[in-house]
Amino acid sequence: MLNYLPLQENVAPGAPIALLPLEQKPGPEKRLRIRCEVVSVKDSRGLRVRGLFDGRLNRNRDCELFLADGVVDRESNESFEVEMKLATLTAYANPKRIRAKILLSVVDANDNPPRFEYDEQSPVREQYLTAIPDSTPIDQTVFKVRATDADSGPYGEIEYSITGDRLAREYFAIDARTGEIKTTKSFESISNGDLPLEVIVLVRDNPENTAGGGSNSQRTMLVVNLLRKGDGLVLTISNTPPEVMREKKAELTKLLQEQTGLAVSVDHITASLRPHAGNGTCCRVHYSDTDVYFHATDPNTNQILSYDSPKLQR
Ligand SMILES: [Ca+2]
Ligand SMILES: [Ca+2]
């Protein structure tokens, strides 16, 4: 006989999980020893689990399955198949009816907060960094944040919003569903003292909370620098045409970051422009060489480094 039962995720140790009533049970006066045993437990992948569940005879002398030790986590196991057995003198038990199988289906709890995903290669930890031209118009997507949540259904659904600093909320809006951040104001009148802009992004799970379960949230920061003339750097790479360099963009970014300890972002890759030899007038295109335009940010101050910054001259 197979019994299907729900099992709440994170159930407390010792709490009863399933009750298997015994028929024609002898009264306590008979002093008959009956034990209620767990024979085997398999997880959702069919692997044997030991020690998690145990059986006992409760006060009414019915068989009870309980959580013995450990944690029930839906995110690592969605179901368990438990086989139980009644151990007593064979004369008192019908051998055909002393075993039972229980299929436990783990009911999700909202026990995972959403987590932001970051670029692991960036020297900036646990926050986002971007730089956009100071001429960026309104309604332009400038960045996309991403978070994930390990729970299922509404407990795994997430919603983004911008919170905190009023200034950041003046310039940016976020798509609650996709995490895309757009400009809502031009940067013409912003003063240098307000830079970089620090956008606090909040992500929340179970946004409707219709089924209860509460809401978990996490926040992070997107640092936005404005690129002005003189902020960009050009690196000329000889004997490598731009199409080859474009394929190596990620590799080059990684190398520059490792060498400088700065957060580096490559803005533009193009054929090399150099003044004409001899008269020095501008410019001749060299298709076999590449100019890489990039900018660099100090991960300690979040400030864009300008061309003459001492850190870039190492
Ligand atoms: Ca869960
Ligand atoms: Ca969750």
Percent share of the chain, pLDDT over 90: 61
Convert the pLDDT of each residue in 54-85 to its tens digit: 999 998 889 999 999 999 999 999 999 999 99
Q: Which of 29-33, 170-174, 262-266, 292-296 has the highest mean pLDDT?
A: 170-174
Percent share of the chain, pLDDT over 70: 94
* pLDDT surpasses 80 at 138: yes
Give distance in angstroms: CA of 128 to centre of ligand 1: 27
What integer pLDDT is reported at residue 252 of this predicted model? 92
Give distance in angstroms: CA of 113 to centre of ligand 1: 9
294 phi, psi to nearest 5 deg: -145, 165
115-227 topology per CATH: Immunoglobulin-like (2.60.40)
Give distance in angstroms: CA of 240 to centre of ligand 2: 48
What integer pLDDT is reported at residue 284 of this predicted model? 85
Give distance in angstroms: CA of 156 to centre of ligand 1: 8
Q: What are the extents of the domains in the chain?
A: 2-107, 115-227, 233-312
Q: Are 291 and 308 in contact (CB under 8 A)?
A: no
Tokens (6 digits) for 89? 């003198």
What integer pLDDT is reported at residue 34 of this predicted model? 84
Give distance in angstroms: CA of 127 to centre of ligand 1: 25
What is the architecture of the domain spanning 2-107?
Sandwich (2.60)
> Which helix (H) or strand (E) segment is 171 a member of?
helix 166-171
pLDDT, average across residues 97-112: 94
Give distance in angstroms: CA of 155 to centre of ligand 2: 4
* pLDDT surpasses 90 at 123: no
Q: Which residues contact 285 (CB under 8 A, 6 or more apart)?
A: 271, 272, 273
Q: Are 235 and 144 in contact (CB under 8 A)?
A: no
Q: Which of the ligands is closest to the CA of residue 74?
A: 1
Q: Are 216 and 113 in contact (CB under 8 A)?
A: yes
**Exposure letters 149-167 (e unless 16+ CB within 10 A, then b):** bbbeebbbbbbbbbeeeee
Neighbouring residues of the ion ligand 2, judged by CB less than 5 Å: 110, 112, 149, 151, 155, 205
Q: Check residues 261 and 183 and name the one with the higher pLDDT.
A: 183
Report which DSSP code applies to 122. Answer: S
Give distance in angstroms: CA of 110 to centre of ligand 1: 5
Q: Are 64 and 13 in contact (CB under 8 A)?
A: no
Q: How far apart are CA 159 and CA 70, in angstroms?
A: 32
What integer pLDDT is reported at residue 30 of this predicted model? 67
Rg (CA), the chain: 32
pLDDT, average across residues 285-291: 90
- For 103, 246, 274, 282, the CA distances from 278, given in Å and listed in that order, are 85, 31, 12, 11
Candidates 40, 35, 44, 36; CA nearest to 18 is 36
Tokens (6 digits) for 218? 């996490």
Residue type for position 252: L
> What 3-state DSSP class applies to 295?
strand
* pLDDT surpasses 50 at 314: no
What integer pLDDT is reported at residue 28 of this predicted model? 65
Give distance in angstroms: CA of 44 to centre of ligand 1: 16
* pLDDT surpasses 90 at 26: no
- Cross-strand bridge partners of residue 94: none
Q: pTM of the full predicted structure?
A: 0.80
Q: Which of the ligands is closest to the CA of residue 206?
A: 2
SS (H, E, C) 68-107: CCCCCCCCCCCEEEEEEEEECCHHHCCHHHCEEEEEEEEE
